[in-house]
């Protein structure tokens, strides 16, 4: 009966525990224990990726630094290489609009040509101004903390905030993410992505989407599309106006879980409704700067809920009048064929070694992955989107 009625409490958030988010975030105070030292304080940043990482996940962070998080290597310059057999068959990005965030390839023989000529701009632009940092909470282990300090001194890409790093505090971690960006670089950042440290991010594809382009559909990515999202590969669905953008894998009409053995268990005193607002998978989602401001301000006035993706992209987004946008390129499941990663944005969950393998495959430009068969009929794609209208 107790399980069915969802009255069993969860560790750290009993019935009597305050859920005033502002009490834990301290919005007007600097609560950072460690700040990044390699952050560009002068130039505008097109995309900031904040990886939420557990304090002792050293190998996971290092794997990301050496693979998809190496933004000086794995940047927009890789897009035409990844999709070389699709050249001319997918929508190019509007680089002219975003040229203030771009660097032309200094190694390219055609780098003297202005990016105003967008016809071949994707072939010449090597770098989009972006940054990857890691967000950690506090650890009770002095040894782990000393290692984090040494890691920060070596790489300069860590933000550590003053809250206990635990699964039921993931909402605090994400709100701290919003707070740090708001207080340190909101006026210079155009887009912010939140992801976990067991996620592979296909950075060139993500940049291409945010720049207004569309990623080609591969034969091995067809299973991720329904009819609506397959048609979303058409020009009219490109991100032309990124205002109020909140995009990832959308869950619709999900119900609170009453099984107390589940890590997603939801006590009724924390959420009394029978259905969650539509929300995005917390494994990885991206937002525009104006969306971040709305979510942060709303979160400080919303009773805290321990499932961070439901809280931020569902409850807070709904209160702020934001509509999360589904993209089939974000996935929270593992694909069997590595060719699918070529056409996706996120892949989860992956071990650090799996992330390295995925990166090696994506950057191996000698491997070409097939497009859908010419006889493929888009009308036969199943309609998952019926649940999300």
Write out pLDDT tens, residues 255-287. Answer: 999 888 888 999 999 999 999 999 999 999 999
Q: How confident is the model at residue 230 (pLDDT cuts 50, 70, 90)?
A: low
Say if residue 156's pLDDT is above 90. Answer: yes
48-95 pLDDT, tens per residue? 999 999 999 999 999 999 999 999 999 999 999 999 888 777 778 888
Strand bridging mode 246-251 / 279-288: antiparallel
| pLDDT of 374 | 61
Q: State the helix-helix crossing angle for 352-362 and 58-65, rounded to 10 degrees.
A: 10
Say what the pLDDT of residue 117 is.
43
Alpha helices in the chain (DSSP H): 21-25, 58-65, 79-82, 121-124, 142-155, 170-184, 203-210, 227-231, 289-299, 308-309, 317-319, 339-342, 352-362
Assess contact for 200 and 292: CB atoms under 8 A. no
Average pLDDT value for residue range 146-171? 92
pLDDT at 325: 92
**SS3 assignment, position 321:** coil
Cα 161 to chain centroid distance, Å, stands at 20
Residues 6+ apart with CB under 8 A from 81: 363, 365
Contact 355, 64 (CB under 8 A): yes
Q: What pLDDT is stored for residue 40 in this prediction? A: 77
Residue 24 φ/ψ, nearest 5 degrees: -100, -25
pLDDT exceeds cutoff 70 at 299: yes
Q: Is the pLDDT of residue 2 over 80?
A: no
pLDDT tens digits, 173-194: 999 999 999 999 999 999 999 9
Q: Report pLDDT digits (tens) over 357-369.
A: 999 999 998 999 9
Q: Which pLDDT band holds residue 239 (cuts at 50, 70, 90)?
A: confident
What does the domain layout of the chain look like in residue ranges? 25-106+119-383
Q: Are 128 and 101 in contact (CB under 8 A)?
A: yes
User: Quick one: average pLDDT of 228-237?
Assistant: 61
Q: Cα separation of 341 and 141, whole Å?
A: 37
CB neighbour list of residue 105: distance below 8 Å, 6 or more residues apart: 77, 111, 124, 125, 126, 127
Q: For 4-61, write each residue's pLDDT tens digit.
A: 578 888 888 899 999 999 999 999 999 999 999 988 777 899 999 999 999 999 999 9
The pairing of beta strand 325-326 with beta strand 130-138: unpaired
Q: How high does pLDDT run on average in the chain?
A: 87
For residue 333, the tally of other CB atoms under 10 A from its CB is 12
Q: What is the pLDDT of residue 315?
A: 97
The b/e string for 219-243 (b: 16+ C-beta within 10 A; e otherwise) is: bbbbebbbbbbbebbeeeebbeebe
- Asked if the model's pLDDT at residue 203 lies above 80, the reply is yes
Helix or strand or coil: residue 75?
coil
Angle at which helices 170-184 and 289-299 pack, to 10 degrees?
130
Q: Exposure of 357 by Cβ count < 10 A (0-12 exposed, 13-18 middle, 19+ buried)?
A: middle
Residue with tokens 């064929």: 337
> What is the CA angle 341-62-338, rounded to 5?
15
- d(C-alpha 235, C-alpha 98), whole Å: 18
What topology is assigned to 25-106+119-383 in CATH? Answer: Spore Coat Polysaccharide Biosynthesis Protein SpsA; Chain A (3.90.550)
Lowest mean pLDDT among 56-70, 129-143, 157-171: 157-171
| Tens-place pLDDT, residues 103-127 | 865 444 333 334 344 445 445 666 8
CB-neighbour burial class of residue 273 (10 A; exposed 0-12, middle 13-18, buried 19+): exposed
């Amino acid at each position: 009966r107790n399980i069915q009625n969802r009255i069993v409490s969860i560790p750290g958030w009993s019935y009597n525990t305050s859920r005033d988010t502002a009490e834990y975030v301290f919005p007007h105070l600097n609560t950072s224990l460690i700040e990044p030292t390699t952050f560009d304080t002068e130039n505008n940043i097109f995309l900031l990726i904040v990886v939420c990482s557990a304090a002792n996940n050293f190998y996971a962070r290092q794997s990301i630094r050496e693979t998809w998080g190496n933004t000086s290597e794995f940047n927009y310059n890789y897009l035409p290489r990844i999709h070389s057999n699709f050249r001319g068959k997918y929508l190019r990005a509007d680089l002219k609009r975003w040229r203030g965030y771009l660097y032309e390839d200094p190694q390219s023989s055609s780098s003297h040509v202005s990016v105003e000529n967008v016809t071949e701009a994707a072939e010449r632009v090597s770098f989009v101004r972006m940054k990857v940092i890691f967000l950690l909470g506090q650890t009770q282990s002095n040894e782990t903390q000393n290692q984090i300090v040494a890691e920060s001194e070596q790489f300069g890409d860590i933000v550590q905030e003053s809250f206990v790093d635990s699964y039921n505090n993931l909402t605090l971690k994400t709100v701290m993410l919003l707070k740090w960006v708001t207080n340190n670089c909101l006026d210079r950042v155009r887009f912010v992505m939140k992801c976990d440290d067991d996620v592979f991010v296909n950075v060139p594809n993500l940049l291409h989407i945010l720049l207004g382009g569309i990623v080609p559909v591969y034969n091995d990515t067809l299973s991720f599309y329904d009819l609506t999202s397959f048609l979303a590969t058409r020009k009219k669905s490109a991100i032309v106006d990124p205002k109020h953008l909140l995009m990832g894998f959308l869950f619709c009409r999900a119900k609170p879980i009453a099984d107390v053995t589940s890590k997603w268990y939801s006590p009724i005193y924390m959420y009394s409704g029978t259905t969650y607002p539509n929300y995005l998978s917390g494994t990885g989602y991206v937002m525009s700067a104006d969306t971040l401001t709305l979510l942060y301000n709303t979160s400080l006035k919303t009773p805290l809920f321990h499932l961070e993706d439901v809280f931020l992209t569902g409850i807070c987004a709904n209160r702020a009048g934001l509509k999360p946008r589904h993209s089939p390129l974000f996935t929270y499941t593992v694909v069997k064929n590595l060719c699918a990663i070529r056409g996706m944005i996120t892949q989860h969950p992956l071990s650090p070694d799996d992330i390295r393998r995925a990166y090696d495959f994506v950057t191996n430009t000698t491997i070409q992955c097939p497009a859908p068969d010419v006889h493929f009929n888009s009308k036969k794609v199943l309609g998952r989107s019926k649940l999300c209208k």
